[in-house]
Amino acid sequence: MKARSSPRLSVTILITILAAFLATLGSIIGNIATSSIPSFLLPYVRFAWPALGIVFLLGVIVSVIQVRRDAMASSSFTNILSSPAPVLATQSTGSSPYHSCILSYATEDQDFAEKLHADLTNKGVSCWFAPHDLKTGDKLRDKVYEAIGQQDKLLIVLSEHAIGSAWVEEEVDAALDREHQQKGTYLLFPIRLDDQVLQTSKAWAIAVRQRYIGDFRQWTDNVMYQRALQRLLRDLHM
């Protein structure tokens, strides 16, 4: 591909030729004028021609400088347009493939809850957990109810201790109330550590028994725990 000539050089040559032509023309006109004007005006005319020449040269110089500036600006703009767009480094914020959840449990089941929360978090599940997510001074009940209203699932750990917990009962009631208000929403996500939920006559536990309940009864056995965890992750997957 042939390189195009610089517009700055072409304009400069053109202006130089034009300046030479005008200077020659001016000289001719000057000679004619000096032969036809009165003699007493000749000194003034001879003084005026150099002044006009200087003014003309200054005009030519200013024009050349301006043309070069315009050419440089145009060249820079063209380079910007023709250069590839910069690739911006962006941070990937891919969303989790799992439903978010809030972990509800009785205090006596703290060890299991801690283990389950850690494993779910490591797998990429967004899991609200009071000991980790509450700040000093937060009102526990208000924050828990707020989380129930915001998370996809209430992951409730059912056990003998949970059945006797008024706190767990209130959280289940709050989840059932949200399901009632938002038709098609299935918030309650129960798992069990023993069979107590299947034997109690409490009304809220009877409602829970209408759902499939994940089985973590052998959670102290690592093989059985991992098997139950994989089932839970499968069910939490969106």
Q: Give the model confidence (pLDDT) of 92-104 as tens digits.
A: 334 789 999 989 8
Q: Are 133 and 181 part of one and the same domain?
A: yes
DSSP state of 155: E
Domains contained in the chain, number: 2
In a domain, 33, yes or no: yes
Identify the CA nearest to 209 among candidates 228, 192, 232, 226.
192
Q: Residue 88 pLDDT more than 50?
A: no
Q: Are 158 and 197 part of one and the same domain?
A: yes
Q: Are 60 and 130 part of one and the same domain?
A: no
* In contact, 216 and 162? CB cutoff 8 Å: no
Q: Are 52 and 109 part of one and the same domain?
A: no
Per the structure, the complete domain to which residue 165 belongs is given by 101-236
Predicted pLDDT of residue 91: 33
User: Which of 82, 115, 131 represents a domain boundary (last residue)?
Assistant: 82
In a domain, 20, yes or no: yes
User: Which of 33, 51, 82 represents a domain boundary (last residue)?
Assistant: 82
Q: Are 174 and 228 part of one and the same domain?
A: yes
Predicted pLDDT of residue 228: 96
Q: Are 206 and 144 part of one and the same domain?
A: yes
How does the average pLDDT of the chain come out, rounded? 75
User: CA angle, 174 as apex, 231 and 180 as ends, to 5°?
Assistant: 85
Its pTM stands at 0.57
32: exposed, middle or buried (Cβ count in 10 Å: 0-12, 13-18, 19+): exposed
Q: Are 115 and 224 part of one and the same domain?
A: yes
Q: Are 110 and 228 part of one and the same domain?
A: yes
Predicted pLDDT of residue 83: 39
In a domain, 92, yes or no: no
Q: Return the CATH number at 141.
A: 3.40.50.10140
* In contact, 235 and 214? CB cutoff 8 Å: yes
In a domain, 139, yes or no: yes
Predicted pLDDT of residue 115: 96
* In contact, 192 and 218? CB cutoff 8 Å: no
Residue 207: partners with Cβ closer than 8 Å, 6 or more residues away? 172, 176
Q: Are 13 and 118 part of one and the same domain?
A: no
Q: Residue 218 pLDDT more than 60?
A: yes
Tokens 């032509």 belong to which residue? 21
Predicted pLDDT of residue 200: 94
Q: Are 14 and 117 part of one and the same domain?
A: no
Q: How confident is the model at residue 185 (pLDDT cuts 50, 70, 90)?
A: confident
In a domain, 122, yes or no: yes
pLDDT in tens, 128-165: 887 777 666 656 667 766 777 777 888 999 999 999 99
In a domain, 96, yes or no: no
Predicted pLDDT of residue 167: 86
Q: Residue 233 pLDDT more than 80?
A: yes
User: Which of 47, 82, 117 represents a domain boundary (last residue)?
Assistant: 82
3-state SS, residue 128: strand
Q: How confident is the model at residue 36 (pLDDT cuts 50, 70, 90)?
A: low
Q: Are 58 and 117 part of one and the same domain?
A: no
When comparing pLDDT for 86 and 9, which is higher? 9
Q: Residue 65 pLDDT more than 90?
A: no
**CA 202, CA 159: separation in Å to the nearest integer?**
13
